[in-house]
Amino acid sequence: MTNKVVTSLSLPSDILKEAEKIAREKHQSRSEFFKEAVLEYMSQHRLHAIQEKSIPYAIAQGVQTEEDVENVIRDLRERKKHRKS
């Protein structure tokens, strides 16, 4: 069983009302809603940290646009596919 800790959170009332509305729409408790929101924030934070660390490599490789990223991914997938053949 997961250890759970009760915490307090102070929010402006308009934000809390909107959060509660969304939680109701998703058939979630307030706790479930905020847990999901925090997990999503942490995931985005980790992604941005990885992206920041990747910038020097991307610049060195000439990757500057989303299209460049897609081309690199496509090339890597093609190389991987040919190695399996």
The DSSP line for 7-69 is ------HHHHHHHHHHHHHTT--HHHHHHHHHHHHHHHHHHHHHHHHHHHHHHHTT--SHHHH
Give the CA distances from residue 68 to residues 34, 62, 73, 79, in Å, rounded to whole numbers and listed in that order: 36, 8, 9, 17
- Examine the pLDDT at 2 and tell me if it is beyond 80: no
Band of residue 1 on the pLDDT scale cut at 50, 70, 90:
low
Is 50:42 a contact under the CB 8 Å cutoff? no
Task: Please tell me the pTM assigned to this model.
Answer: 0.68
What is d(CA 3, CA 34) in angstroms, rounded to the nearest whole number? Answer: 17
Higher pLDDT, 82 or 37: 37
Given the structure tokens 């910038």, which residue do they identify? 55
